[in-house]
Amino acid sequence: MKALRTALAFVIGLAAAPAGAQTITFGDTPMGQLPNEFETGLTGGGPPPRWEVVADPTAREGKALAQLSADPTDLRFPLALARAPAPADVEVSTRFKPVSGKEDQAGGLVVRLQDAENYYVTRANALEDNVRFYRVVNGRRQQLASASVKVAPGEWHSLTLRAEGNRFTVSFDGKQLITHADPTFKAPGKVGLWTKADSVTRFESLTIKSLR
């Protein structure tokens, strides 16, 4: 009977999950370590980022992946990238919490990353109270669209970036804020998490959903 209940629960879980979606959580990762599903990177100057799992009783499974380096170098963008390849047409989402930062308190999502110098990113900033969409070309960040919205520090927020063909859609806390068309990067690339400068930011999970 126990085996039957387990099997039924597994089937129900599959039925409830979005088709082609994978959610990475951090409950099984030891404290102070980087999850096996991720590798780190850096756009810009300054020291390497410091990504590790920390305890957070308000997070899913009681743990979060945090970027802990508070180096204030401007135009420094720490990356935590999913190792598994992702298609060009993809939707990624996360819940993040801005914890601290004097220069920035930002959390973001990356798609179609060709390398640490070339990709798309959306980010929300608790010091500026806005959500923006950028492309990074040869290491230079170029703003494509922006929306003003309250981003409360010390609270969890949801962020979603959908890439389908040349069309990109950004949603924040369940509300669609940005749609924009851009043809710069069309090929599949890596997806992942992003912060800026001295942002200490926690991420609860990363959901990757193929759109093809």
- Could you give the CA distance from residue 146 to residue 42 in angstroms, rounded to a whole number? 23
Buried (b) or exposed (e) across 40-50, using 16+ Cβ within 10 A?
bbebbebeebe
Judged on CB neighbours under 10 Å (0-12, 13-18, 19+), 51 is buried
CATH 2.60.120.560 for domain 21-210, yes or no, is yes
Nearest to 154 by CA among 194, 103, 96: 96
Domain locations in the chain as residue ranges: 21-210
Q: pLDDT 10s digit of each residue in the chain, 212 long?
A: 433 333 333 333 333 344 579 999 999 999 999 999 999 999 999 999 999 999 999 999 999 999 999 999 989 999 999 999 899 999 999 999 999 999 999 999 999 999 999 999 999 999 999 999 999 999 999 999 999 999 999 999 999 999 999 999 999 999 999 999 999 999 999 999 999 999 999 999 999 999 98
pTM > 0.85: yes or no = yes
Both tokens of 5, joined, read 């209940």
Nearest to 200 by CA among 92, 54, 81, 94: 54
